Amino acid sequence: MAKVVYKSYNQNDSHLFPYCIGDFIPENDPVRVLDAIVEHLDISAIEATYKGGGASSFAPRMLLKVVLYAYLQNVYSGRKMEKLLKRDVNFMWLSGMQRPDYNTINLFRKNRLADVMDDIFTQVVQMLVDAKFISLEVQYIDGTKIEANANKYTFVWKKATKTNQGKLDLKVKSILREAERILDMEIAEESDIVMTAEEMQKRTDDILAHMDEKGISDKKLRRAVAKVKEESVPKMKEYEEKLEIVGERGSYSKTDPDATFMRMKEDAMNNGQTKPGYNVQIATENQFITNYGLYWRPTDQGTLIPFLDSFANRYGHQSSTVCADSGYGSEMNYEYMLANQINPYVKYNMFHAEDKRKRKNSPFLVENMFYNKEHNFYVCPRGQHLDFVKEVREKSDLGYESTKSVYRAKDCSHCPLRGMCYKGKADRRTIEVNHRNNELRSMAKELLTSKEGLRHRSQRPIEPEAVFGQIKYDNGFKRFRYRGRRLVKAEFATIAVAHNIRKMISNGYDAVIELR
C-alpha cells in the first residue's frame, strides 16, 4: 500500500499570505472595479477638511474605498467594517493592510463625507454617462418613505402645539388683565394674536414692579402673577421653539427634529401607524439612480418641482422626458414641466378611472355633459343650460393659484332626474370646472396613450420601483442609521453610489476596466 503524503501545514509560517495580497483577488472581481472608480474620483473637497500638523491620518481615498465597498456588501455598521478589515481579504487589499477602528470610520463618515457625498454621487453618474450606460435625457421618478433613526413616541404635533399655545394665551391674558384692573394700571391693548413669551415676560414684570413701587401686598394677586412668570413664560417659550422647528410641517420627532411623522407601508402591525421618516425621491434611467432628494412632505405631488430643479442644478441641464405615476399629476406640475420643455409622461389621479364603462356612460358627470365653448355654458341630460356665474381663484397649500369657473342651472326643483343628478339641497345644480387643468390632463392623456407613452408606462414599474425594492429588500436598507437631514442625505447618497456601482458591475466591466 502506497504511503499517504500530506502537504506542509504550518499556521505560524511567516509566508502564510503571498507577498502581494492582490494575488488572492481575481482580475474581474467587483472590488477591483470599485477601486478603479474611486481612484478616478476628485476627492479634493474631502482632503480640504484635513488640517496639517499632528499625527498622521489615514488616507481619505482608502477610507472612502472601504466605506463604499462595505455598502456594496450591504454592511452599514462601522463596527462590522472594523471586523472585516481584519478578516476579509478584499477589505485588507483595499486598505493596504491598515486597520482603522470603527470610531475612525464613523468620524470619517460624519465629519469628512457628509458634505461631499452629493458631489461624489454626481461624479459617479457622470462616469455612467461617459461609459454610455445612461443619457440623462429621461427621468423615471418615484418616491418611498424610509424610517428615521428616531423614537416613534417622541412626537410633536403642530396642531396640538398651536391649540395648547392658544389656551395658555387666553388664560394668561385673563390673569394679567384682572391684575391690571385691580391695580388701576393701564390695561394693555389685546388682540387675537397670541402673545410672545417676551411680551408676556415684560407685562408680568411691569405688574410686579408696580406692586413693589406702590407697596401693594396682595399675596393672592402676587402669587398668580408670579406663577405666570415662573411657569407660563417658559411654557410659551417652549411652544414657540416647537413651532419654529416644525415650520410648515405638521409634526416632527424630538430625537430627530428633521424627521416628519408619516404613514409607512412597512408597518409590522399593519395598522397604518405613523412613524418618523423621510420621503425619499429618486430618478432612474436603466435602473441607475441619476438624482435623489429627501423631503418632509408625505405626498409626492409637492416634491416634483424642487426635485426637477435639483436635477437641473446638479447637471446644468434638464432632461427632455419625465415619467411618473399619478401621485405627481397636477396642474401646477404640468405647467412647470411644459414651461421647462419637458415631455410630461405623468398620470393624473383619474387617468384609469375615467375610462371605466360606468364612469364613461354616466350622463350626469361634468366631463360627460355637452359644453358650448363659444357661449360658455354646459347642458345637463334634461337639456337645461348651466350658465357661467363667476370665476373663483383658489390657492393651494403649495402656493399655486388656480382658477375655477362656476356654472349654475336656473331651476332643478321639478326635474325628474334630480335625485340621480346631484345630492345637494339647493333647487339648482352648481358645478365648478377648472378648464386649464382639463386641457393639461387631455394633453397628458394624449402623451400617455401614444406609442412612446405606452413604452414609458411599461418601463416605469421596472425602473424606480425595482430600484427601491433592491435597496430596501435585497440590500436590507429600511431605516436610516444617522439623525439630522445633513447626515441622512449623505447616508442615502452613499447608498445610491453603491447601488450604481453594483449595477455597473452587473451590466459589464469593459467600460470601467478602461479606467484602470
List of E strands, 356-493:
370-372, 377-379, 385-395, 401-409, 430-433
Helices then strands, counting H and E runs in the chain, come out as: 20, 13
Which percentage of the chain shows pLDDT scores above 70? 94
Reported as a single tens digit per residue, the pLDDT across 189-210 is 667 788 899 989 998 888 888 8
Reported as a single tens digit per residue, the pLDDT across 4-53 is 877 776 666 565 555 688 888 888 889 999 999 999 999 999 999 988 77
Q: Which of 200-209, 324-333, 370-379, 474-483 has the lowest mean pLDDT?
A: 200-209
* Longest Cα–Cα distance in the chain: 121
Q: Where are the domains of the chain?
A: 21-113, 138-148+263-344+446-496, 156-253, 353-430
* Strands 138-147 and 321-324, sheet pairing: parallel
The answer to whether residue 450 scores a pLDDT higher than 60 is yes
Nearest in space to 382 (alpha carbons), one of 349, 351, 420: 420
Average pLDDT over residues 82-87: 95
Reported as a single tens digit per residue, the pLDDT across 380-423 is 999 999 999 999 999 998 889 999 999 999 999 889 898 889 88
Residue 281's CB is within 10 A of a number of other CB atoms, namely 24
Reported as a single tens digit per residue, the pLDDT across 115-146 is 999 999 999 999 999 999 999 999 999 999 99
468, three cell numbers: 427601491
Query: Does domain 138-148+263-344+446-496 correspond to CATH entry 1.10.357?
Result: no
pLDDT for residue 317: 94
The answer to whether residue 267 scores a pLDDT higher than 80 is no
pLDDT for residue 188: 66
Is residue 241 classed as helix, strand or coil in its secondary structure?
Answer: helix
Average pLDDT over residues 147-162: 93
Place of cell 334630480: 418
pTM: 0.89
User: Quick check: 204 and 225 in contact, CB under 8 A?
Assistant: yes
- pLDDT grade, residue 516 (50/70/90)? very low
pLDDT for residue 35: 93
Nearest in space to 290 (alpha carbons), one of 515, 499, 502: 499
